[in-house]
Chain A
Amino acid sequence: MALDIATVRRIARLARIRVPEEELPVMAEELSRIMDWIEQLNAVDTSNVAPMTSVADMRPHQREDAVTDGGVPEKVLANATDRVGNFFTVPKVVE
C-alpha cells in the first residue's frame, strides 16, 4: 500500500513530529513498506481467533482503592522547564 506525501505530512503533524519537506518522500516510502508488511499479516484469516492480549492467560490485577502515592511535587516538577510555584507553565493556550 502506497502512502502519498499529503498523508505522511498529516500523520507527522498529528504526531507532532517535524519532518522537513524534502524528507517526506523518503518517509512515505519507508512507511509504505511497513504498511505492505501489515497487509501481508492481514492476509491470514483470523476471523475465528480471539485477539491475544497476553502470552499468559491472566486477568489484570485490581488495586484496592487506597491513597498510597502522591505528595511528591518536587519529583513531579523536577523536569519542569518554567516552574512557577508548584505549577508547570507552558506558553499561553488560548481558547
Chain B
Amino acid sequence: MAYSIQGKTGAWEVVIGLEVHAQVVSKSKLFSGAATEFGAEPNTQVSLVDAAMPGMLPVINARCVEQAVRTGLGLNAKINLTSTFERKNYFYPDLPFGYQISQYLHPVVGEGVMTLDMPDGTTRDVGIERLHLEQDAGKSLHDQDPNRTFIDLNRAGVALMEIVSKPDLRSPEEAGAYVRKMRTILRYLDTCDGNMEQGSLRCDVNVSVRKAGEGLRTRCEIKNVNSVRFVMQAIEIEAERQVELYESGGSVIQETRLYDPDRGETRPMRSKEEAHDYRYFPDPDLLPLALDQAYVDRLRAALPELPDAKKARFRVLYGLSPADATQLTAERELAAYFETVAEGRDAKIAANWTLQELTAMLNKRGLTITESPVSAQQLGALIGLISDNTISGRIAKDVFEEMVETGGDPVKIVDAKGLRQITDTGAIEAAVDKVIAENPAQAEQYRSGDQKVTGWFVGQIMKATGGKANPKMVNELLKKKLGG
C-alpha cells in the first residue's frame, strides 16, 4: 500500500527529491594541493588558493575527476565529455572566495538510475538527475565563544559530488533506502567513505505534498540532514506541516528549512531567507573539463563488482533470499567475509550465522566486520562442524562465544571441552530410558494424548547429556519409547 498522509480532506501523497553531498576520497583538494584528511589542527590544511588570496589560480585534481566519473558509471549515468565550472555567488564567513566553484548548466554526469532495495525484499528504480563536482566550504564553530564564530578552512576546497535525484521518492522509507543504497554504492566504488557522523555524506531533502493525480506543488528544502533516521523523520514532519497548512487555508512558500530532531520540527533558516540568487557565471579561471570516451571506457572496465551485480550473483550462486542477499552485500567487506565463510559449505547456514550471530556480536561490541575477533575462516570451520553433525546448532552457539572470547579454533574448542555430539544410538537410548523411568507421571500424560510434554522431555534429556545428544535422534527415540 502506498504511503500517504491522512488529512481532514483525505489522503495526501508525499513527493521527495534528495540532494546528496558526498565528499570525494582523494589525498588533496579539488583545486589545490592541500591535504583533505579529517581532524587536523585548524587551518593547517589550507593552501593560499583555498584561502582565496589574490592572484591564486585553481588547478583541477585528476583523481577527483576520475572519482566523479566512476561514481556516475556506478549510477548507470550518462558521462558528459565536456562540462564547465561556474561560480555560485554568496557570502558566508566560511567561504573565503565569496563564491563556490561548482557546476551548473553543464555537469560532468547527467541522468542515471539507481535501484532501491526495500526492507521487504522488493526493488524500485529511482531516477538520478545529475552529479556535479564542487568545492566544500570551511567549517564554522558557533559554540566556542559567546560573541564570535570560529572559522577553520581545512575543509574549504575539498571536492564534493552533489548527486541530485529526480522527485521520484514517495515515502520516508524510500528516502531512507535511497540514502542507504547511495552510501553502499559510494563505498563499493571507494569514491566517498560515506561517514555521515563526520559529515562526509550529507543530505538536503526536498519535500512537497499533493492530492492524487495532481502536478507538483511548491516544495521546501530541508538542509543538512545528517543521518538516515533524521532524513526519514524530517520528511514525515515536514509533509505533515504542509498538509496542515493547506488544510487550514494557507499555502506553502518555497524556502530553506532546518530539521530540529530535539523539538521534532522543521523551521525556516534565517540566513537563507533571501531568495536564491546565486548569479552563476562560468569561472574564467577554469577551462571547460574535456574527457575522452576512451578514458571513460577505461574507468568503466576497471570498476569493481557493484552491489546490484553482487546481490544477483549471491542469489543464484548461494540460493539466498532477496532480503539476505541485500543485507550481505550492503558492505563490500561483509560480502567478502560471507564468501569466505560459505566457501565449500552450506550457504544458507553460512548466511544465517553471518547475519545473525556474527552481526549481533559485532553490534554488541561496537565493532566493524574488519575488526571481528572471529575470522571468516574460523566461522567457516564452525559451520563445517554443524553441517557434518559433529556438533548441534545449540552447542555451536557456545563454541562461537568461546571463539569470540579466546579467538580460538572451533575444532580445538570442541575437542578440549568434549562437545562432540552424541550420535551413538545406545548412549542416547540409555538417557531416554532413564528420563522416562524417573518421570512416570509425565510419561503417563504423554500416553494419554497430551503431547505438550514432548518438549519438556527433550529438555530433560538434553540436560542429562550436557546438551550433546543429537536433537533429531532424541526426538525419534523419545517418540518410539513413549508411543510404544
Contacts and interface: CB of A to CB of B under 8 A. Distances in A.
| B partners with A | yes
Interface of A: 14, 16, 51, 53-54, 58-73, 75-77, 82, 84-95
Interface residues of B, number: 55
B160 interface: no
B27 interface: yes
A58 B152 CA distance: 36
Interface in B33-47: 33-35, 41-47
Given A65-B28, A85-B42, A86-B43, A70 B35 contact: yes
Given A14-B279, A62-B65, A87 B152 contact: yes
B28 A92 contact: no
Contacts of B92: 93
Given A53-B288, A71-B44, A90 B151 contact: yes
B150 interface: yes
Interface of B: 26-28, 32-35, 41-49, 51, 59-65, 84, 89, 91-93, 140-142, 144-153, 258, 269-271, 274, 277, 279, 282, 286-290
Contact of B149 (A62, A67, A93): A93
Contact of B148 (A53, A82, A86): A82
13 contacts: A14-B279, A63-B61, A65-B28, A65-B62, A69-B34, A69-B48, A70-B35, A73-B46, A76-B43, A87-B152, A93-B93, A93-B140, A95-B142
Contacts of A72: 46-48
B147 to A, nearest CB: 6
Interface centre among A77, A85, A93 (most CB of B within 10 A): A93
B63 A65 contact: yes
Given A73-B46, A84-B145, A89-B148, A66 B287 contact: no
Contacts of A84: 144-145, 148, 150
A79 to B, nearest CB: 9
Closest 6 CB pairs of A and B: A65-B63, A68-B33, A70-B34, A69-B33, A69-B47, A62-B62
A62, A65, A84 interface centre (most CB from chain B within 10 Å): A65
Given A62-B62, A65-B61, A89-B148, A95 B271 contact: yes
A49 to B, nearest CB: 15
Given A60-B288, A72-B47, 14 more contacts: A14-B277, A53-B84, A60-B287, A62-B62, A65-B26, A65-B27, A66-B33, A73-B44, A86-B152, A88-B151, A90-B93, A93-B142, A93-B149, A95-B271
A76 B147 CA distance: 23
B64 A65 contact: yes
Contacts of B33: 63, 66-70
B151 A86 contact: no
B150 A68 contact: no
B44 A86 contact: yes
A70 B61 contact: no
B42 A87 contact: yes
A90 B27 contact: no
